[in-house]
Chain A
Amino acid sequence: MTGTNKKERQPLGRLVDALVEDILAASDEEILAEEAAAGADPAKTADAMQALFERSVLLSNKDKMRRAKAGATAARQVSVVPTVTGTADARERLRRVLASRPADVPLTLAARNESELSDEDVLGMLQDLEELGITLPANKTGG
């Protein structure tokens, strides 16, 4: 028999709900007087509550940051997947990107010999270029 059994909670749960209702309905003076009568320091209780709230804010902010990072990573992962429909398309796009480079930017030996690159290398280069922020034309006519 555990203390979390639903049937156990029903009668006891009603009692706890009633006790909570009474706590919420009690006046501030009454609450402060009860706290003092129990030997507790209301100022310390308030400080502890403030500290707990601040810890919760910190936790909440960390969680938001974690979610934002995860979202950004997911978005990046989506954007760096080259939108190619096949290896021929990928090679064509790579050739166009390389051809459209500024005149003073030299090509590496590997890039110059595009026809000798494996399909995997071509896709890797396209991905690297996208990660560098080089926008690839969507298709031959799209520019």
Chain B
Amino acid sequence: MTRAQSIRLRRVAEKYAWLYRDDPEALLQEAFCRALAGERHKPDHVDIVRFLAEAMRSIANGEAQKQENQATIIPIGAPGDLNGPVIELPEPSDGVEDRIMTAEHDEGIRQALFALFPDDPNARDVIDGIMAGYDGEELRALTDLSPTQYASTRRRIRRTIDRHYPNGRKP
């Protein structure tokens, strides 16, 4: 593995760990182990770094999914009957309160990222577009940037986030 490949791998691990608040090294080691165990087949034409990056994404995503599937159980007893039988129901995860908190949190993250680019409307537009689900040529066209401007804006976003979150987000 070349130096550049090593750096890429470490940085990809940091990104997924940043998203899932995981440990980058543990994530990378798990990806190595799964590849060595042959759990994931690497087609010949796929770059090894891209292959391991996809493995890390999948591992981190799976871990997060597992946590989500651990439903909270809320006990429900008959009104006024403190000693009677209690029925346990899974707490609905998408209640109104949950949705409001999620929306507030999303907006908080968006604002925190925007604050990194106070004088860079192009970067803010691109971040907004990506977070809204746009990418590639469609996003470039939406932001009215030339291919060169678009590429340099994305580079700037990546470098700025790297600089401000060298150790990932804190819970």
Contacts and interface: CB of A to CB of B under 8 A. Distances in A.
Question: Is the A/B pair a real complex?
Answer: yes
A16 B16 contact: yes
Interface stretch (B21-29, B82-90, B140-148): B21-29
A9 interface: yes
7 contacts: A5-B68, A6-B64, A9-B20, A19-B157, A53-B1, A57-B32, A63-B37
Contacts of B130: 14-15, 18
A115 interface: no
A31 interface: yes
Interface in B55-107: 57, 63-65, 67-68, 99, 101-102, 105-106
Contacts of A19: 15, 157-158, 161
Given A8-B106, A52-B28, A34 B159 contact: yes
A1 B105 contact: yes
B162 interface: yes
B64 A9 contact: yes
Main secondary structure on A side of the interface with B = helix
B7 to A, nearest CB: 5
Contact of B21 (A1, A4, A43): A4
A11 B110 contact: yes
A132 interface: no
| A-side interface size class | 35 or more
Interface of A: 1-9, 11-20, 22-24, 26, 28, 31-32, 34-35, 38, 42-43, 45-46, 48-50, 52-53, 55-57, 59-60, 63-64
Contacts, number: 140
A18 B29 contact: no
Interface residues of B, number: 59
B168 to A, nearest CB: 10
A9 B7 contact: no
Interface string B131-168: 11101000000000000000000110111011100100
Nearest to B22: A4
B158 A9 contact: no
B20 A3 contact: yes
B154 A11 contact: no
A38 B47 CA distance: 26
A52 B18 CA distance: 19
Given A19-B161, A63-B37, A53 B106 contact: no
B2 A28 contact: yes
Contacts of A50: 1, 6
B18 A16 contact: yes
